[in-house]
Chain A
Amino acid sequence: MTVATDSSTRTHYSIQTRDLNLWYGKFQALKNVTVDIRPRLITSLIGPSGCGKTTLLRCFNRINERYGNVTTTGEVTILGRNVYDEDISLSELRKSVGMVFQRPNPLPISIYKNVLFGIRTHTRRGAFPRHQRDEMVESALRDVQLWDEVKDRLRRRATHLTLEQQQKLCIARLLPLKPRVILMDEPCSALDAEGTERVEALIGDLKRQYTIVIVTHNMAQARRVSDECIFMLLGEIIEHDDTVQLFLNPHKEQTEMYIEGRYG
């Protein structure tokens, strides 16, 4: 994906949607979603199950389209380009917009090869000499605070790592592609309390370089990790605000009821 020149007001935001609607068959999962997501911040999407938060997240790298029978209208502009334009390359889009899933999904190959998997699928074979590949692996693993733990066993299968290490590896796998946006769908739900704490700390570090959007069921996590928070209900955005403000002084009654645990 080619990034538009940084001259318009749009560059204040990494992700913008305008009147985004999405249907799974006849069921409308997103309704007129208009939202602006700022760079180098962590934005969390919260709301009860089925509110559309994961669907919205999946619009940002068009991964929803893997399921048939999906209709989308409206605009999603990422780094200045509408990702639903006809001339958008999906593979380029997914390079710029990486994704981390609920359950860590390392490939059953070595740690080393996992880190390079993404970049290898996006470049011709032999594009990088050995020393450059080594550097990429070390840098990515350092960025996710995994290097010291795995540097002596890079050739071992990644599936032998703990779940926390696997999830960090899945984040590391995105980094050689130099993404601008990282989408995370419940990235800590498979982890124990300590693993969650360390992955949250990692996410906090990564925000200096990336735009991070995180879907979470866990409101305490949304409060802890995110700078801005979007509350969704029945496919609509109810409120989008600074996280402290949203949890301290919500403007909409539905938000207040949800965060106080009175429904959802």
Chain B
Amino acid sequence: MKKLEQELEQLRERVAKMGDLAEAMVVEAIVALGEPLDDSHFQRIQAEEDRLDQLQLDIDKEAIRLLTVYGPVAANLRMILSVSRINSELERIGDQTVSMCNHIQLMVSKSDETLLPQFQGMARLVRAMLHDTLKAFRLEDSRKAKSTMANDELVDVLNDEIIRELLGGDRSNGAGRREVAGAVAQIMISQSLERIGDQACNVCEQIVYMVEGADIRHRHPA
């Protein structure tokens, strides 16, 4: 195997590991949804976010080095460009898990609300999307990436439903401060999950670009 290919393989492996870490953070945040009084989830996510940030810097540095040293073309060039973009998406997924933690804590401390039942399904869906996305990356499977993206619509529907429910019903008629806090926290959590779904889609788009060379961003399905 040529040196560039070896180094690209190592880079790909590092991104896959970063993906594993981001996925572990998402799983932790979802568990925290069900165990909001357990601080250890938040602490672990904080610590992992630092690791994720460092991985982002390391991977970007390595991608820049490979571009500089080898001046790659074709599939190799696409791979490095994709890696650099995927890297940013994974880092933002980490940020969303931190945001989720902050809003879980807000909900626990400032309200008596309990999570709407729709969160369970939404969390399961987002988690599966991210898992499939990372699998598609490892396998360089653009078909899997495309089929994974299709799930994002369901996530959006659940997000809309959660927001509609929180803004409707009794709450619109003179809700108390604690109810407002609970609703705001839940809307923010739902938004974070929805964003993680979007970011998984962005990663999928980059997998398609990496494998097929087709730029499918901003192409909304009919």
**Which residue from A197, A201, A204, A244 sits with its C-beta under 8 Å from B69?**
A244
Query: Measured between alpha carbons, how far is A244 from B3 in the docked complex, in Å?
Result: 16
Q: Is A127 an interface residue (CB 8 A)?
A: no
> Interface size on B (CB < 8 Å)?
8
Task: Tell me the minimal C-beta distance from B36 to chain A in angstroms.
Answer: 46
Q: Who on chain A is nearest to B4 by CB?
A: A224
B3 with A247: CB separation less than 8 A: no
Place the interface of chain A in its size category.
10 to 19
Query: Measured between alpha carbons, how far is A248 from B68 in the docked complex, in Å?
Result: 6
Chain A binding surface, main DSSP class? helix
Chain B binding surface, main DSSP class? helix
Q: Is B71 an interface residue (CB 8 A)?
A: yes
Q: Is A220 an interface residue (CB 8 A)?
A: yes
A220 with B2: CB separation less than 8 A: no
- CB neighbours (8 Å) of A224 from chain B are 3, 69-70
- CB neighbours (8 Å) of B64 from chain A are 244, 248
Query: Measured between alpha carbons, how far is A204 from B3 in the docked complex, in Å?
Result: 10
Q: Is B65 an interface residue (CB 8 A)?
A: yes
Q: Is A133 an interface residue (CB 8 A)?
A: no
- CB neighbours (8 Å) of B3 from chain A are 201, 204, 224
Query: Measured between alpha carbons, how far is A247 from B65 in the docked complex, in Å?
Result: 10
**Binary contact track B60-74/A, C-beta < 8 Å → 1, others 0:** 000011001111000
A223 with B69: CB separation less than 8 A: yes
Q: Is A43 an interface residue (CB 8 A)?
A: no
Q: Who on chain A is nearest to B2 by CB?
A: A197
**Which residue from A201, A204, A223, A243 sits with its C-beta under 8 Å from B71?**
A223
**Binary contact track A242-254/B, C-beta < 8 Å → 1, others 0:** 0110011000000
Task: Give me 16 other A-B pairs in contact (C-beta within 8 A), A197-B2, A243-B69, A244-B69 excluded.
Answer: A201-B3, A204-B3, A220-B71, A223-B68, A223-B69, A223-B70, A223-B71, A224-B3, A224-B69, A224-B70, A244-B64, A244-B65, A244-B68, A247-B68, A247-B69, A248-B64
